[in-house]
Amino acid sequence: MPGSGSLPKNILLVKTSSLGDVIHNLPVVSDLRAHFAGVGIDWVVEESFADIPRLHPGVRDIIPVALRRWRKRLWSPATWAEIGAARHQIGAREYDAIIDTQGLLKSAWLARLARGPRLGHHADSAREPLAARFYDAGLFVPRTLHAVERNRRLAAAALGYSPGPELDYGLPRQAENQHSLTVVLLTATSRADKLWPEAHWVSLGRALARRGLTPLLPGGNPLERQRALRLASQIPGAQAIPPMCLADLARLLAHARLAVGVDTGLSHLAAAVDTPIVALHTATDPGLTGVLGQGWVRNLGGKGQVPTVQEVLNQIAHFLPRSASA
């Protein structure tokens, strides 16, 4: 806590979802470790995204919750048993600071289950203003900042330090991937208005294949898998990748030459492991939630804007092999 005169020894971060939001919170761990040597950092996160904080060596314990699943089975005794176990785990340790960077009622409720000072967004900057009533102190962070910087500034204000200029997601990174011949095409997103036209993906994939590259198309749920198979069947040499856990997807991205993706959490994961990434925005403002990293990143498009295939090729031209295949 600011002004407490002692260094924090135990900190709890609350950022449960979604995938992109969880990735955006990783630099907070790096900042805390840089400013408070030996600090123990725990993290409350949705079970389906727990692989991401597990990849950061600065996270001590993961406390998984399943709010999304619990809501669907609220009257099940098994659900209440899981809720009770999660409450016990969250409250098991005394914390010097509990920092909720999500600013939602659900995350504020989880923060209230922990023992220690609870800090989060002020009502004027929280995504759900009522969440501020659950905190011992609400801190204002401008909404106009990128989501990564909002997280970093909130934690810094909570503990009285200034975040440095370096952005460190703390994930294992592939140092040399310029000789890789794989390109990951991230075609799936949870919102239909964020999708890039399939004809564009086919044209891009064929252009990459002509340069001797192998497009890889991950697909998780059945709908995404069908899309990946459909697109791969129209692109020479392309491969539709079977469902993978997030840790394996991080490794796949880290070993790729580059990635092109829609506004989805996996595009942010590519940036976090320093893989060159072009993010395609059709319904969101990249200034607030676009890909952000220390490596080479580009955001194209915006609300109501659909990037063209040629715009993508222009951006990635210097990553493509010089010689074309037959």
- Rounded to two decimals, the pTM is 0.94
Task: Identify which of 271, 274, 309, 310 has the alpha carbon closest to the alpha carbon of residue 290.
Answer: 271
Q: Quick one: tokens of 237?
A: 């040499």
Separation between Cα atoms, residue 248 and residue 239, nearest integer Å: 16
What confidence score (pLDDT) does residue 172 get? 85
Query: Residues of 187-215 as b/e, b for ≥16 C-beta within 10 angstroms?
Result: bbbeeeebbbeeebbbbbbbbbbebebbb
pLDDT one-digit tens code per residue, 89-109? 999 999 999 999 999 999 999
Beta strands 277-281 and 258-262 are: parallel
Residue 326 has pLDDT above 70, yes or no: no
pLDDT one-digit tens code per residue, 166-193? 999 999 876 667 689 999 999 999 899 9
Q: What angle separates helix 19-35 from helix 147-159, to the nearest 10 degrees?
A: 40
Residue 110 has pLDDT above 60, yes or no: yes
Dihedral (Cα; 137, 142, 145, 151), 10-degree rounding: 0
What confidence score (pLDDT) does residue 176 get? 65
Q: Which domains does the chain have, with CATH numbers?
A: 10-159 (3.40.50.2000), 182-319 (3.40.50.2000)
pLDDT classification of 81: cutoffs 50, 70, 90: very high
DSSP letter for each residue of 214-247: EEEEE--SHHHHHHHHHHHTTSTT-EEEPP--HH
Return mean pLDDT, the chain. 94
Residue 141 has pLDDT above 70, yes or no: yes
Task: Identify which of 93, 88, 87, 90 has the alpha carbon closest to the alpha carbon of residue 10.
Answer: 93
pLDDT one-digit tens code per residue, 199-231? 999 999 999 999 999 999 999 999 999 999 999
What confidence score (pLDDT) does residue 67 get? 95
What confidence score (pLDDT) does residue 174 get? 65
Separation between Cα atoms, residue 86 and residue 92, nearest integer Å: 10
What is the strand order of the sheet 277-281 is part of?
239-241, 214-218, 182-186, 258-262, 277-281, 297-301
What confidence score (pLDDT) does residue 267 get? 98
pLDDT one-digit tens code per residue, 16-41? 999 999 999 999 999 999 999 999 99
